Each structure stands twice: as C-alpha cells, then as structure tokens.
Structure 1
Amino acid sequence: MVMNHRKKLVTLAAAVMLTSSMPAAAFAESVDKPAVSAVSGDAAAPNVSAVAPVDVKVSKEKAESLARQLVSIPKDYTLQGASLSTDTLASGKRSVWGMDFVYKVNGKSKGSIYVRLNADSGQLLDYSAYLDNPSAKPTYPLKVERDKAQQIAYSFLSTVAATYKDQVKYNPEYGAQSLPPLTGEVRHTLRFDRMVGDIPYVDNYIELDVDSEGHVLRYSLQWDDTIKFPKVDVKLTADEAKTKLIEQAKPELRYIIPYNVQGPRNPVLSYDMGAFAIDAATGKEVQSSYVNSDQVSETPLSDKSLGDAPAASNITEDQAKKAVLAAFTLPANAEFSSSSYSENTDESSGVASANWRLDWELKNGKESIGSASATVDSRTGVVSSFYFYEYNNKSTNTKPALSYDQAEAKAIEAMKKQLPWVADELYIVKRDKSQYNPDKVQNIDSYYFNFVHKVNGAITDYDNVNITIDANTGVVRSYDASINPYKYPETAPKVITPAQAIVKWMTYYRTELTYYLTQNYVYQGQPIPVEKYKVMLAAGEIQPSDVESNADAQLIYRLVPRQLDESIFMDAVSGDWRNRETGDKTQLEKPKATDIDGHWAQRQLELMVAYKALDVKDGKVRPNEIVTRGELIKMLVLAMNSGRSPIMYESADSATSASFNDVGKQSQYYVYIESALQQNLIDIGDGSFNPDGKVDREEMAELIVRALGYNSLANYDELFNINFKDAAKFENKGQAAIVVGLKIMTLSNGSFLPDKQVSRAEASVAFFRFLQTRAELQEAPLRN
C-alpha cells in the first residue's frame, strides 16, 4: 500500500510537470491540437514585487503573462524571482527578463521552470523545465525516437519562434552521437542553425531538448539580429578550402596519460591537431581575438643536461630549510614561523610523495607585513614551490629597474639552477612584450614566465613550470615546478609523419563554410587594433565604456570535429585512434551490428554494443550465442556504474597481482572482474574465474540479486511465494523468486529453468530491466 502511495506521488508530480507546464506543441500525442490541463497544488505566495520600477517596453507583469502563455505554465507554478539584464549584441544591446517559476508540494520544491524573454519584443529566448523525479528511467523502445522529436521541435518553433522558424535549417549531426542513457530520462538534443542565404551561421541557432515522451524540456534561441553579413562574390570551393586547411595544419607531438587506463599509467605519445579556420576568399588562417599570441621557443634552455636528477634521500626539516635558502633569496625581515610534514599517494599515478611545508612571516618590528612559503620534496631535497608576498608593497617607480629581457634572463638562470637535469628539455614561452611596455603599462612590479617540458621534442601535457621575477630587485618572487617522474624512451620512437597525421585528422574533422564575427574597436573616432585595445585596457588608459565596439561577419571555412560519444586521441606511433580515458583502441564510426535488425531484443542489444559491453565481430553481435562469464560481469559493472568503466589506479611499478589466476591485467575483463570482487558481487572461490565459461540462469539471478543488495534476504526462502514447477531442482529459490517477482527475469511455462544457459540477447534484456528496477527501488521515501 505504501509502495502504491509513493508511485501515485511521483505520478502526480510528473503530471504537473509534463502535462500542465509544457507548451501545447510539446506533446507527441497532440502535436497539431493544443492540449493544456490544470493540476491543483499548494501554491506558494510570490516573493517578487508587484510592480517592477524599470523602463522597458515589456513590463514585468506582461513578461510573466507572456511566459505563462508561451510555455503553458500552470497557476500552481508561482513566480519565485524576476530579473532584468542586458545582452551585448554585435551592434547594440537588448534588455532581457529572466523569470523563475516553482512548483511546491508541502513547502518542498518539486519542479521549476526558467524563462528568458526579450524585454522589448516579448520574444521567448530561453526556456527550461526541471522535475524532481529521482526515479526517472528510460524505457525502450522509446515512445518518441529522434525523427519524431524533430517533428515535435518544428511544431514547437511554430508556436514560440515563428519569425525565426523559416530562417533555420536542421543540423542532423548535432547531438546524434550521444550515448543513450542507462539511467534517468532520455533526451534528444536537436539544433537548428541560422541560415544566411544558403550558408549556415553556426554561432546563431535554436536548440531544444525533447524527451522520449515527446515533451520539450529545454529551448534556447541564440540569435543576434544586429549582425550585418557581407556579400562575398568570390570564394574558395570546398575542395580548394580543404587543400588550404591541409597546407596550414600543424600537428603537434604530445605525451598524454589516459586517466583510466587498465594497468600502470604511462605516458603515451600522441599527435594533436586542433581545429582552425581560414578566410573563405583568401585562404589565409583566421586568428581569433582570443587566441594566445605567445610562442614556445624553438630551442631549450641548454643543449645538454646540466646535472643528474637528485638521488633519493630522507631529509630533515633543517635540511629542507637550508635547501630553500640556498635556492632562493628571502627578504631580510623574514622570520621562520612553522613547518609541517605530509605523505601522500597519488591515486592517478600510484606514486607516493612526501613533502615539507615551510612558512616564514615578514615582520616590521612586531607588525606582520607579509609571508613566505616553500614546499620541499623530502625524498629528494628538491624545492617544488616557493613564494613571498609583502602587503601593500606597491612600487612608486614609474619604470621598473629591470627590462623584460633582463628579467627573462634571470628566469632562465633560475631554472637552470633549480632543474639542471631537465634544462635541455625546458622551453621558455615567449610572450608578447607589449603587455610589459613601461611606456604604456604603469606599476610593473613583476614579470611572469612559464616553461614547456618536452621529451624527445614532444610536449608533456601534465608537467608545469613557472616563475615570477621581481621587476625591481630581480629576485624570484614565486616559483612552481611539477615534473612528473615518468619513464620515457631514451630515443624518440618512430612515429607516423606529420603529413600522415594530417590526413588522419581530416577524417575526424569536416570542412564547413560559415560566418565568423571579428570584433572592431573605435577610440576617439579612430579604429584601433584589438592588440592595442588590450594593452590600453591592461594599462588602465581606457575603460571598456570609453571604446565603441562592433563586429563584422567574415565568411570562413572551418574544421568541425565529429560528434562522438568518447574523447579520443591519435596514437603517434601506430596512427590508431584511442580512447582518451582508457587508452584502448577505438574508431570514429560506431560499430553497427547487421544481425539484430528486427530482433526481439534489438534495442537492448544496441545499448550493450554502444557501451561496448558486447563486442561486434565482422559486423555481427551474435545475439543468440551464449553469453560468457566475462561478458556478463562487464555488463553488470557497467550497468551499476551508469555505463562508465571502473577506475583502477596502478603505478608503473605496482606489485599488486591479479585476484584470479586466469584473469591477468592484460585481460579485457580485468578491471570489471576486479571491481565486481571489490563490491562483493563475486567470490574468490578457488582462485579461478573462468571468464570464457558459459552462464546459466541460476548464476545470472545470483549476480543480479547481489547487485541489488538482496542476497541476504534471498536466503529466507519462506518469505517468498515460490510456485515454480521446477523449484525442487535447485537451491537458490529465494534469488530466483526475487528476480522473477521484480520482472527482471521471467518464467517459461511456470518453470525457472536454472540450468538453461543465457544468450547474449537474454542477458542484455535482463540487465536493462535490472537498471529500471534499481531506479524504482531507489526512489526517495515518502517521508524524509
């Protein structure tokens, strides 16, 4: 009875949200016929003022009325808050109302709707709906698939954005590659790009989320009517543009570390190539105003190593203090104040570290006027960080005593002293010196420098080295160095050529013709370059309000990445695509099974394939083949982890052995079986797991019940109404009763058939039902 009451509560909340608050066009069942029904509830009193003292064409009261009308907000949703803000456009501004509506039951928020409206025209700009429904779960097959969601979206636009509906074009790629969720509601994300003639302007668009029931849960109109688009009479063809993009592409070697790799985490050499754009008429690269103009030096700090890496040792506090004083200059008024020692094992690398933290106080008599701090590796004596700071120590000099070049020389000298063993692998980042021009910038008190660590010419993404030099004294004011102790090959491995990498990357990117906005600045009636604007702004010579700005639309060809379910990188040695998380070999195209069309478990099998719980060989998933123990455990662990692989950190020299003698660390099932063992889903037994062994229904029932946390309960057979015809033939009757009672597994002519082996299709369906049942069992209690 309590369970039914709880379900009624959830149903009521869902009805309020998904029937009363959705626009008429949001219903899959009534796309052409508006339908709105009111549901009563406990309405809270609005906490916003009755009259808003603002001067816009659309008053707050009118904006609320429009919002309720456009997205059919029922009376049960009260206006919780309203705000008026300004959006900056390419050539002007617009006023915008933002409104929060809430629905409460017994004083608790159960749903909310947020709406943004143009305060001058009343146009709906944004809309989003949220329902507090923790038991939401996907049900397959979906009532509304993506193609039907597209029709619903068009109908919705006819209601709320009729002026823009005919100026957009559906983008079939956007959102199409998203993995279907294993828990929670299913949402189709759809985008409609703004069209200027036959050319898309992809920074203006309409985006919507439509759920699998056909309700529009989110809408966003990103549009700027003040943009003026140029007419381009002559432009490159798509093939010519692709040739220009290939010519200007600059692939770069980088060492990266997959963050959830199976086994020890070691650097992997990759080829990176970011997306960029070219002018559609000239073919020249287009530089964004946000692109960092700093360049990495072509030569390292030295042509060879200047010393050996420090040997392992255990240093005392006094030794750590001496190391800091030998490395850096502390102010004469610095008094040592405290120290602390800590040890830590980095989960991501498995590397253990131990450090001394030392602190000083800067004093003027009894008054504290600043502080200093340093961190020292207690196992090597290397100072990894240092800084000192004096309160209110603003230089009165109009110009610094040191020039930028002099400060750079001191920074390089300090790095050679602190990190001699990697001096031939550190490259200084050359900055735009104009930001330190003493004729333009006042009160330059320090210069900041950072260095890139390269091994065999490849950047190490995870290392960080930077330093700050006092502009008047030349001493180091701050220093931070993180050089990870990974092992690299002594000589550079043989990699594919840059040309081969570019060809490979061009299968990841597609070439798109679109418009790009370039910002223009006008000061005292004269145009100024963006670089000068930034320098004047940094120097305090001007304020943003002193400068008029507008934007020009430029026709460009740009590289657009594929919409993928996973983050990838290119292996520089093999040229293979690999998963950025696990390091496993992957592919740009999703594997598609050719042998499950029309199968009774097609959708569940597709889910298992999408999450790589089942493999596809030669285009076949083999649905009627008996599932193996390894495959079943992988399904279970992925299901319990919302489709994500378990994380298992191991250092390169980890001595941890595999728990089972027949599932080594190189096995594709290793992390899943180890995770299942840690969660007590399986037992160690005799030390063998038999990952290729076949699975029967009794074993699958036991796994599911243990995953639900009901295994102890299953031991009490007398609690269950067990009327299986074959109940006398097996022991685990309680487990079978639970999975059958929860409709995760079914009977066959009244029999459970415990010894019957389970097919891949049957396992896929059972684990999807397990997900749905677990969501129901985890509903919030009626009273909390």
Structure 2
Amino acid sequence: MKRLLAILITVMFVLAAAIPSAVLAQTNSKIELKQAIEIAKEKLNLPTDGYSFSSNYYEGDGNKTWYLTWTSSTNGSITVNVNADTGEITGYSFYKPDNSSNSVIPKYSRDDAKKVAVDFLNKVIPEKFKETKEQESDDYLGLNPKIAYSNAYSFNFAQVVNGITFEGNHITIEVNKNTLEVQSYYLTWNDNYNFPDPKLAISKDKAIEIYKNNNSLRLQYNVVYKDVYGNNDPKPQAILVYTLVNNQPIDAISGTVLPQNYYGPMIGGTGGMSTKSADSQSVLSPEEQKAVDDISKYISKDKAIQMAKEKLPFTIGSQYNLTSSNLFKNSSNSDSAIWDFGWSYSDGSSYNYITASVDATTGELMTFTRNDSSENNVQGKTPKYTKDQLKGIAEEYLTKIQPDKFKQMEYQDVPTSPYDKSPYMSFNYVYMANGIQCPFDSIYIGVNKYTGDIVSYNYSWINLNLPDSKNLISLDNAYDTLFKNSDLQLTYIIYYAPDKVYDTPPQDVKLVYQLNNFNGLIDAKTGDYVDFSGNPIEKDKSNQFTDIAGNWAEKDILLLLQYGIVDGKDGKYMPNDYILQKDFIKMLVKSSQPNSIIIPLSSNDDENYDNYYNVAINNKIITENEKNPDSKVTRQEAAKFIVRSLGLKYVADINDIYKLDFLKDANSVDSSLKGYVAIAYGLDLMKGNNGYFNPNGDLTRAEAASILVRYLKIEK
C-alpha cells in the first residue's frame, strides 16, 4: 500500500514538473510560491547564494505541497517541502559533496547531535514537536544502532496522545556526526485522526491472556549458521526454539486479535528460518563450470534440463528459448550444487518466462515458476476453483513428485482474505520431526485460481542432525522469557480493515496492545533469549565494569565497550593487567571490521579465539608463526599489529628510511620493527612517556584501550 502511494506521488511529482509556471501560479492554495520560498529561507537560514532554483506543486491525498529545490554543482543540493495551506515545512534535505574520509568514531556525540535536532524542530515545527516524544532505538542483537550504519545520527519523535505513543504521526531528523549539520527532516502528520479513549481499554493481564491463547509462540526446529566474520564456509545447524508466529496486535477496546493488514509499526521477529539467498551464491566461471561438468558426481547440464522437463507439471513450448543456465554452489550443502535454468519468449505485446532449478547431485526438482501474462489478466473474472480444489491439485502433484517426504509433512493453513486480488493461491507444507515443525524443510506450491495450473514450486530440504526434544522448557516458561525481554504495550496504530485496504488516507486509529522489541528466539533447552545465529543475546553492558572508575583510560574503555569491542570477566575489565595476545588480536579485529561498522563477532564468553586469529591472519595482521595466544604483548609488537591492520606493512618493512632520534630508548627497538614504531608514533597511536617508548615493556589492558580508540579515530 505504501509503495503504491509512493509510486503515485512520484508520478504526480513528475507531472507537476511538466506544468508551466503560468499554470502553477493559478494554484488554489493559501500559500503561494513567493511565500513558500520566504518561509523556507527564514526558518532554515538557507545558504542559497550561488544555487539555481526550481519548484513544483502537488495536490493529492488532501494535501497541497510546494517542492522547492536549490542546486549547485559545487555545494550540492537543498530541497524543502512546504505545506501550501498551513505554511508548515514538512520536509527538508541537505546534500553536500564530501570526499573526505571519516574515522569510525565521530567527532560529535549523539547528545551533541540531539541538541541540534531539538533546536531545529523547536524553530521549524514548534507546536507539533511539543506533542512528541523521542522513540529510543533499541540495541539489536548486540549492535548499537546509535553508533553504527551511517555518518548521521537519526532521531524519531512520535506523537503522544492521552499519554500513549502514536507512531502514525511522527517527525524524523538526521544530524551529521562530524559537522552537526541537519541532513534531513520529514514530518508525517495527519490532524484528522480520532483516538479511542484509553479508559475503555482492557487490562494488560487480560491482553497477555489473549496473546497466549492466540498461539503466538510455537516450538520448532530452527536452522542457524554459526557464521563468524572470516569463516567462509559456515555449516548450518539445527536448534530447538520457541519463536513468534502470530505477533498480532490486540484491540485494547474489544479484546479481539487484529489481522496484520494494517498500516503502522509492527515490531518483532518472525522467528523464521535463517537462509542464504541465491544472490549470495557464487556463479561458477565457464572454465570452472566445464570442470564441474566433468566430475561424475554432478549431473550434466543437458541431463539436468531433461530431468527438470520430466518433472514439471506443464510442457515448455517450442516458442520458449533457453536464456540462462547457471550452476550454483548449494548454500545449504557445500558438497552439492544446483542447476538453475531460465526460458522466455515475447510475442511483442507480452513477455513470458519459466524458471526451474535441479539438484545437481540427486536430480530433485528444487524450484520452478511460470509467468504467462495472458493468465495474469483476471480483471472482472471470478475464480473457477475453490481453495479445497486448488489444495487437492497441489497435493496430487506433491504425492507424485515427492511421495516419501510429502508423507512426513504437515499442511500449514494460512487464512485467505476475500479481498485478495492475486490470481494465485499458495500452499505451504512443513516437515514434522518428533511432532515438531522443521520450517527449513518445506514445500511452497502455487496454483492458479482461474485455470487450476500449478505455476510455482519451492522445495527446501536440509539434511541436518536434529537435537532431541528432551528436557525442554515449557510453553509457559517460554512466555515468561518473552515478557521478561519484551513488553506488551498500549499504543495507537493506523489500522486498515480488510475491506478498506485500498482506502487512502486511512482514518481508522486503533488502541492496541502490541509486543515491543522482540527480535530473536527463545532457546527451548536453556530458556535463553538468543539471536538468529543461536548465540545468547546479552543485555546492555555499557555500565558493567566495576573496576575502571578513576582510571586514566576510563573514557576510552567505556567507548570501546559501547562499540562492543571490549569485554571483561565477572564485571571487571582489569585495566592494569597485562593484555594477552589473543585478547589484543580479538579487540583489533573487532576494531577493523569492514564498512566502519562495529559488530561484535560473538557474544559467547567461551568463544573460540581461532575465529579472530583466522581473520587476523587473512588480513595479514599476524602470521601463523607469530601466533601465541596466552603470551603478553610488548609495546613494539602492538605497534606492529596496529600498523599492519592499517595496510602499511610494505612501508613499515623498509627499515633504512626510518630514524628514531626522537626516542631516548631508540636503541632498544628491534631493528626489524623500527618502521612500525615510527609510523605508530607519527600517527599518534602510541607515544610513550617523557621521550621513552619502552618498546619491550608489556602492554596493559588500559593502554590497549587507549591505543585502539586512537586507531578508530584515524580517517581511513
């Protein structure tokens, strides 16, 4: 629905751009173009000198808007949206070309940026801003979204009505982390909503009872990939979990469960299986593909095409041409591969295609789709087949193509809406083991409602060892864990009733109980709240260390803790202890992850340090011969590892060009490490004390934290 509206707005915007200015001058709005420009320049203090200007006008969805744009080939662009009836600024974006490199750690804190955001909103939209409250971004699977992702801090302020949050009306604003410039601002607001009285709401305990009775949690096997950065061949594993399957809001007035066809925030994980998409699979080169064809364990291309055609429920007509053939590594089984084929034809007025994939080892048909444009035109037609008839067609085919496995599967009924306009109906079957679902072993099949033809099929089967189902926590205990980590909160949402899905703008606001911030799974063996890799999700550890208060490196340690780079033991960091090589390598690898995004590689205290060493060795930070996990790290060794992680090994190894006359203990530096010490000193990563570098002194954990913060501040 939102996408449809976006497309419509874009089309209207383009049409508006084509309207002559003389026509625009005749707009029936309270705010004309001259006033809109004056409002924008006054409230935003726009630096428009040297910019070219253009404008557009748009009416739709009950709104009238001026779109103002200033552009400069050297200074970037500014866009401002002004409500043509109220004069409110509803949108603003400022783009300035910036080719400079930024460090991972920004120049300004989130608190600094928030002050700028608040000042901006108090000036631009003061009355509406008074009605809002900031919506905090929650820590997701160990990654703090306030720090990572982009060069801007993002803030979201939602309207508060009757003391209850309503995210349907909200303000978003982004502030640059390194310049404190407001990069964008958008107001999404409708004054015509009617809000139910919270005094009429059912109790929270009653809502929890309804939530449980709706079978919101389900016990199932889940496939996870213990995928650690640097591990190129993660193996899938099965774990038993409780996962959310019916995370639907509860009408707080009537107590009924609402279908999810509403517009508004729905927070929570689906608990579905973890998969690897075809996009992440590596297509073999022609030479590699020929070599694979010669290996007897893989079916040849021609044989795979023949097997696909034999198993398809339709004939590929002679008018279709084979347009693509690819052999992919099977992401679920690295010892196997999948042939993928595509056929198509066009008669000038329509484009039709068929795709099919076959397991290159077993010959099983894995997927197929058929798109016939003539069959998709169902406007004004009535479906010929009922749901039960279509299901019968699907099951007759599955009994033929996968007789043994289909017997072990259970149909997963999904209620269909009478307002569904799709020409197809899909059916899902899931493998059952020990009476428990394995959603990663499943079949999806689609049947045309008007012709009865099977038009899509997706078969997934992973041969995994399933854990036993003994000693599991109860469903009640799982709900206890759920509500311990999440909260069923009262909130207002915009709701689309099934018969009003296409109505715009929506006017129906519901007061609901909705689960807040559940992103993960519940381990059915331990009761732990785990992520989609099966690792326990830890609570915010920003204040966990009890032994760093007053330490000279306290701020650096807390900053690294906030980024998920450092950890301790039993609530202690032990800043004055000497750091071990394995811990320094782990911290350095976490600090040097790609895209300037700090993501903890693991939340398990008993993790295997080999994962970090593998990354460090692959990135030429350390060699296999230098690996000595439980040894202490000298200061000159730390300089070596740090400089290598910057990709400067080839420069540092040219020893003859470096002079260490600025150090009083230069003669104590290993001759092979002179370049590393010089570069670390020159980049202000390591300085020493009173002219002494102390190259052979062991590095403390406090010193390591200080060095890594300086490392992160380097503009790479």
TM-score per shorter chain, which class? 0.7 to 0.9
Pair 279,450 (structure 1): closer, same or farther in 2 beyond 3 Å: closer
Are residues 1:407 and 2:407 paired? no
C-alpha contact (below 8 Å) 2:340/2:355 kept by paired residues: no
Match of 1:57 in 2: 30
Report the RMSD for the aligned CA atoms in angstroms.
Answer: 4.1
C-alpha contact (below 8 Å) 1:48/1:82 kept by paired residues: no
1:409 is displaced (CA, Å) by: 0.5
Are residues 1:449 and 2:436 paired? no
Pair 533,356 (structure 1): closer, same or farther in 2 beyond 3 Å: closer
Match of 1:194 in 2: 159
Q: Percent identity?
A: 24
1:417 is displaced (CA, Å) by: 1.7
1:315 is displaced (CA, Å) by: 4.0
Matches within 5 A, 1:419-430: 419-430=402-413
Match of 2:565 in 1: 613
Pair 700,428 (structure 1): closer, same or farther in 2 beyond 3 Å: same
1:225 is displaced (CA, Å) by: 0.8
Match of 1:280 in 2: 252
Match of 1:67 in 2: 40
Q: 2:202 aligns with which of 231, 236, 244?
A: 236
Pair 471,289 (structure 1): closer, same or farther in 2 beyond 3 Å: closer
Matches within 5 A, 1:307-706: 314-316=298-300, 319-331=303-315, 334=318, 338=322, 342-346=326-330, 350-355=334-339, 357=341, 372-388=354-370, 392=374, 402-430=385-413, 432=415, 435=418, 447-462=425-440, 465-469=443-447, 474-476=452-454, 478-489=455-466, 492-519=469-496, 530-532=497-499, 550-561=506-517, 568-580=520-532, 582-590=533-541, 592-641=544-593, 642-644=596-598, 667-685=607-625, 689-706=627-644
Match of 1:267 in 2: 238
Pair 218,77 (structure 1): closer, same or farther in 2 beyond 3 Å: farther
C-alpha contact (below 8 Å) 2:240/2:467 kept by paired residues: no
- What is the letter of the counterpart of residue 280 of structure 1? A
Cα distance per residue 1:613-649 (max 9 Å; x no partner): 322322211222211111111222222213456999x
TM-score for both structures, normalised by structure 1? 0.72
SS of structure 1 residue aligned to 2:577: coil
Match of 2:94 in 1: 129
Pair 615,191 (structure 1): closer, same or farther in 2 beyond 3 Å: same
1:702 is displaced (CA, Å) by: 0.6
Range with greater deviation from structure 2 (444-453 or 691-700): 444-453
Q: 1:737 aligns with which of 678, 685, 700?
A: 678
1:414 is displaced (CA, Å) by: 0.8
C-alpha contact (below 8 Å) 1:427/1:453 kept by paired residues: yes
SS of structure 1 residue aligned to 2:78: strand
- CA distance in structure 1 between the aligned counterparts of 2:218 and 2:194, rounded to whole angstroms: 37
SS of structure 2 residue aligned to 1:596: coil
C-alpha contact (below 8 Å) 2:94/2:183 kept by paired residues: yes
Q: 1:167 aligns with which of 123, 131, 147?
A: 131
C-alpha contact (below 8 Å) 1:357/1:374 kept by paired residues: yes
- What is the letter of the counterpart of residue 485 of structure 2? Y
Match of 2:688 in 1: 747
C-alpha contact (below 8 Å) 1:513/1:558 kept by paired residues: yes
1:186 is displaced (CA, Å) by: 6.1
Pair 131,633 (structure 1): closer, same or farther in 2 beyond 3 Å: farther
Which sections of structure 1, spanning at least 5 residues, go unmatched? Answer: 1-45, 292-311, 520-529, 535-543, 649-665, 779-784
C-alpha contact (below 8 Å) 1:182/1:643 kept by paired residues: yes
Pair 256,66 (structure 1): closer, same or farther in 2 beyond 3 Å: farther
SS of structure 2 residue aligned to 1:725: coil
- CA distance in structure 1 between the aligned counterparts of 2:139 and 2:652, rounded to whole angstroms: 43
1:170 is displaced (CA, Å) by: 4.3
Are residues 1:769 and 2:710 paired? yes
SS of structure 1 residue aligned to 2:237: coil
Cα distance per residue 1:211-240 (max 9 Å; x no partner): 556544433323211112244543334555
- What is the letter of the counterpart of residue 243 of structure 2? D
- CA distance in structure 1 between the aligned counterparts of 2:492 and 2:652, rounded to whole angstroms: 64
Q: 1:727 aligns with which of 666, 691, 714?
A: 666
C-alpha contact (below 8 Å) 1:149/1:214 kept by paired residues: yes
- CA distance in structure 1 between the aligned counterparts of 2:372 and 2:215, rounded to whole angstroms: 46
- What is the letter of the counterpart of residue 762 of structure 1? E
Pair 85,484 (structure 1): closer, same or farther in 2 beyond 3 Å: farther
Match of 2:169 in 1: 204
Matches within 5 A, 1:133-172: 133-135=98-100, 137=102, 144=109, 146=111, 149-171=113-135
- CA distance in structure 2 between the aligned counterparts of 1:346 and 1:237, rounded to whole angstroms: 50
Q: 2:649 aligns with which of 708, 711, 714?
A: 711
C-alpha contact (below 8 Å) 1:705/1:735 kept by paired residues: yes
C-alpha contact (below 8 Å) 1:125/1:220 kept by paired residues: yes
- CA distance in structure 2 between the aligned counterparts of 1:452 and 1:709, rounded to whole angstroms: 49
Pair 50,598 (structure 1): closer, same or farther in 2 beyond 3 Å: farther
- What is the letter of the counterpart of residue 355 of structure 1? W
Pair 369,61 (structure 1): closer, same or farther in 2 beyond 3 Å: closer
Q: How many residues align?
A: 648
Pair 130,401 (structure 1): closer, same or farther in 2 beyond 3 Å: closer
1:700 is displaced (CA, Å) by: 0.7
Cα distance per residue 1:510-549 (max 9 Å; x no partner): 2322323334xxxxxxxxxx44456xxxxxxxxx6xx787
- CA distance in structure 2 between the aligned counterparts of 1:238 and 1:725, rounded to whole angstroms: 70
SS of structure 1 residue aligned to 2:127: helix
Range with greater deviation from structure 2 (152-161 or 233-242): 233-242
C-alpha contact (below 8 Å) 2:565/2:598 kept by paired residues: no
1:556 is displaced (CA, Å) by: 2.5
Pair 152,392 (structure 1): closer, same or farther in 2 beyond 3 Å: closer
- CA distance in structure 1 between the aligned counterparts of 2:331 and 2:438, rounded to whole angstroms: 19
C-alpha contact (below 8 Å) 1:144/1:211 kept by paired residues: no
SS of structure 2 residue aligned to 1:758: coil
Q: 1:95 aligns with which of 49, 55, 64?
A: 64
1:95 is displaced (CA, Å) by: 1.6
C-alpha contact (below 8 Å) 1:646/1:672 kept by paired residues: no
Pair 316,149 (structure 1): closer, same or farther in 2 beyond 3 Å: closer
C-alpha contact (below 8 Å) 1:98/1:116 kept by paired residues: yes
- CA distance in structure 2 between the aligned counterparts of 1:86 and 1:597, rounded to whole angstroms: 59
Pair 452,699 (structure 1): closer, same or farther in 2 beyond 3 Å: same
1:388 is displaced (CA, Å) by: 4.7
TM-score for both structures, normalised by structure 2? 0.78
C-alpha contact (below 8 Å) 1:182/1:639 kept by paired residues: no
C-alpha contact (below 8 Å) 2:581/2:633 kept by paired residues: yes
Cα distance per residue 1:674-698 (max 9 Å; x no partner): 011111221122xx72212211111
1:745 is displaced (CA, Å) by: 0.7
- CA distance in structure 2 between the aligned counterparts of 1:625 and 1:424, rounded to whole angstroms: 61
Which sections of structure 2, spanning at least 5 residues, go unmatched? Answer: 1-16, 229-233, 264-295
Pair 362,409 (structure 1): closer, same or farther in 2 beyond 3 Å: farther
SS of structure 2 residue aligned to 1:506: helix
C-alpha contact (below 8 Å) 2:564/2:600 kept by paired residues: no
- What is the letter of the counterpart of residue 553 of structure 1? V
1:706 is displaced (CA, Å) by: 1.2
